[in-house]
Chains A and B, each alone.
Chain A
Amino acid sequence: MGVADAINLKFTRYDTPFFYKTMTTTKYLFFICLFMVCGICHAQNSVQNNDAYKKRVLETAEIDLLSSYYSQDGNNAAVTGGRGTEELTDITGTLVISIPINDDDVLTVDTGISAYTSASSSNINPFDKGFADPFIAASGASRDDTWYNLTGIYSHSSDDRNSIWSAKLSYSTEYDYSSLGFGGSYTRLFNEKNTELGLSANVFLDKWKIIYPYELRPFAPGGRGLNDFLFLENTITGNPDYNPSFNVLTDENRNSYSLGIGLSQILSKNIQGGLLADFVLQQGLLSTPFQRVYFSDVADSFIDNFHLADDIERLPDSRFKIALGGRLNFFLNEYLVVRTYYRYYFDDWGINSNTLSIELPVKIADKFTLYPSYRFYNQKAADYFAPYNEHLSTSLFYTSDYDLSDYNANQFGFGINYTNIILRQNKLKLGLKSVDLKYSYYERTNGLSAGIVTAGFKFVVN
């Protein structure tokens, strides 16, 4: 029986029991259709509701465990006036916990410990044991120190995820330095999230516990000068009438105020770039109190091989710094990404510098990526810098810190990343999401070389 026959049958047999049966079937079909229409409408509504549904900014809590081992060596220690060992090692451990408070808000707690051993710092007092020499580490308490940091960041994203604000509070301390920091940022996304504009402001209120080079302390007010036990117990060679014109520092505070602006833009399906600018004003004690300076117009005095300080580093109490940077990243293909960065920096101490870096993430397998990288840095010296024993006592400001000298630096790095998208739970309900390992070798043209190994582990709390 064809369709037409069926219709005819339906309309010709309306007065038969079959008619009622057909009508009943039609009713069922009607209700089924009605139900389906309602269902579709409901589904449509659901789709519309999905538009309103907010994806959580952070689905689950995440834990980042970072650690690094840093080692450096050189022969231009600032503590000994630009000549002496710069041997230093540092071990750092950092724990970053990000906790979703609700759909929109995330609290991040960042805590770190850094323990270092420094040969140059040990020479704040080179006379504590054995033969005093700027190239030999002393064994005093200043040889090592530990830095502690705690930072809390609270961020809130708008319902449409086009604006994000955050507030930050931090505190860090080590033996001779403490810092209280606070700040905030606001980020706005435009053009279907193709453009991002960010503003940030931070204030750091730092405080020194002032420590002077050991041989200068007897010449501070109330000191015994050459009658101090140090000079009675040791013989001064060279100029025996050691008499530095040492004035103690009056300011123990260092305040930093920074304003940052960032603009990033998606340039195509495979390229995005960004511009960053930071403006920083620092005020207060900007020199390091235990760094020595030697004058060429003052007769030299020694104990053993150690040149007794003529003065400590003196630097202006204000510094204005501007850093302008740009990043450009290219997704070349599914195996290779090119990450580039350039920064120009200048300040009112006469320093200007260029930083250029390139990193080439190579995806060698689904879970593994290699990270070869190269970074070039150069800087022009601060107006107040001169090498060991070349300053004049008539100058107002002076430093022999080679971190403020003319130099170029090259850094070569190689890293590997393992990312596991399908997480395995363990008893602690932690899933290891990724592991990063990296080694970087850094060398400056003024002789300092350094190596740093970093490791990062990201866990997701299930």
Chain B
Amino acid sequence: MIKKIILLACIPIALSNCVMVKGYEKVNINDPDMELSEKLCDRNITVFHSYREAAAGANGGKTGGGCGCN
């Protein structure tokens, strides 16, 4: 199931090599809410997740180290 989800996620990205969005067409893409990284104001939420959950990483946040968590 997990492999299928990852595979499905990869397909549109692989196909997207054919798509070229010009700089002047990126008005919507450049919207602050479209940023792929986590917002700075959510950082402390990610920190508490890293304390209370075994999983960490792959979200732009810490992957371990620097605190007694994980």
Chain A residues close to B by CB (< 8 Å):
64, 66, 68, 70, 72, 90, 92, 94, 96, 147, 149, 170, 172, 174, 176-177, 179, 181, 191-195, 202-204, 206, 208, 254-256, 258, 260, 263-270, 272-278, 280, 282, 288, 321, 323-329, 331, 337, 339, 341-345, 347, 351, 353-355, 361, 369, 377, 379, 382, 403-404, 409, 413, 415, 419, 436, 438, 440, 442, 444, 448, 450, 452, 454-456
Which residues of A are found within 8 Å of B22, using beta-carbon distances?
192
Does the CB pair A436–B63 fall under 8 Å? no
Complex alpha-carbon distance, A66 and B41, angstroms: 7
Smallest beta-carbon distance B8→chain A, Å: 10
Q: Are A64 and B40 in contact (CB under 8 A)?
A: yes
- B interface residue numbers (CB < 8 A to A): 2, 5-6, 9-10, 12-13, 16-17, 19-23, 25-26, 28-29, 31-36, 39-45, 47-49, 51-60, 63-68
A448 touches B36 (CB 8 A): no
Known pairs A269-B25, A275-B13, A342-B5; A172 contacts B66 (CB<8 A): yes
- Residue contact A172 to B67, C-beta cutoff 8 Å: yes
Nearest B residue (CB) for A436: B41
Say yes or no: A269-B41 contact (C-beta < 8 A), given A177-B68, A288-B68: no
Which residues of chain B come closer than 8 Å to A269, judged between CB atoms? 21, 25-26, 28-29
- Beyond contacts A64-B40, A191-B17: 18 other A-B pairs, Cβ-Cβ < 8 A, are A92-B44, A174-B68, A195-B17, A256-B63, A264-B36, A269-B21, A288-B68, A323-B56, A323-B57, A324-B6, A331-B34, A343-B58, A344-B5, A344-B6, A345-B55, A403-B54, A415-B41, A436-B41
- Chain A residue with Cβ nearest B35: A329
Shortest distance between the CB of A248 and any CB in chain B (Å): 19
Q: Which residues of A contact B48 (CB under 8 A)?
A: 70, 90, 442, 450, 452
Judge whether B19 and A266 touch: CB under 8 Å: yes
